Amino acid sequence: MGNIPYIDILILAMIAVFILNRLRNVLGKKTGNEEDIIKKFKLKKDGFKESTPDMESNLKKEGLKKDETINLHKDKNINKVLNEIKKIESSFGVNEFIDNSKKAFEYILSSYSKNNLKALEPLLEKKIFQIYKKEIDNRLKKKEIFEITIIGIKDPKIVSAKVVNNIAEIIVEYNSEQVQVLKDANNKIIEGDTNQILNIEENWTFSRKLKSKSPNWSLIKISEKS
């Protein structure tokens, strides 16, 4: 979901319809402690957490040398890309990225259900943000309330990664259990069931231009688990 050629506008429209349909099945959560959830999904300057304390300490100070690699992921191809990111951005840490991606997942869902566009905008790629905004605007127009309670989230995991033209993309797999309901203006449930727990399996793609001044990773795509 980056710069899509004009001739692919039909494909873009199909993707937009898919995401709009998925939003009601995926997005939204009221936690009651949103202030404790991250305000932005970002790299912290001291945020490296890897396999051993000694390795972590040394890499924080020195980063990775040109031809050096460390074990960041069991998949060789993903490990190669993560090492490439680490060499460009010494503050990048896989454990922290995964931890923050889980917080971002919760925060985005919470902000969506609360119609908080201001909170969503820094975390979403522009086209994705416009899709979210359209769905929220439609819901507000109908005075509908969308609520999701997240029962649990399995540990997220990185399933793909790439760097192209100094832009990193990392796909994170989320498996969560959720209760979803859509209510009308009178607080009557019109969709969903408070007694039904849904298993939601999603892949979220986060992107960031490496070495940019902004530390934010943006959500650029949501897709079903392949």
**Would 216 be classed as within a structural domain?**
yes
Residues, the chain, total? 226
What does R_g of the chain's alpha carbons equal in angstroms?
Answer: 19
Amino acid at 105: F
Give me the CATH number covering residue 219: 3.10.450.240
* Strand partners for 178: 150, 198
List the domain range (segments joined by +) for residue 12.
6-224
Cα–Cα dist 193/149, whole Å: 11
Using an 8 Å Cβ cutoff, are 207 and 169 in contact?
yes
Using CA atoms in the order 205, 219, 43, 40, what is the torsion angle rounded to 10 degrees? -150
pLDDT per position as a tens digit, 143-166: 999 998 899 999 999 999 999 999
- What is each CA distance from 196 to 7, 113, 178, 191, in whole angstroms? 42, 18, 8, 11
Task: Tell me if 217 sits within 8 A of 158, measured CB to CB.
Answer: no
pLDDT at residue 60 is higher than 70: no
Alpha helices (H) in the chain, listed in sequence order: 9-26, 53-62, 76-88, 94-113, 117-120, 126-142
Domain assignment of residue 72, yes or no: yes
Q: Is the pLDDT of residue 22 over 60?
A: no
1 belongs to a structural domain: no
> Does residue 67 form part of some domain?
yes
Reported pTM: 0.71
Q: What is the mean pLDDT of residues 52-69?
A: 46
pLDDT in tens, 68-112: 557 788 899 999 999 999 999 988 989 999 999 999 999 999 999
Please tell me the total count of domains within the chain: 1
pLDDT score recorded for residue 152: 93
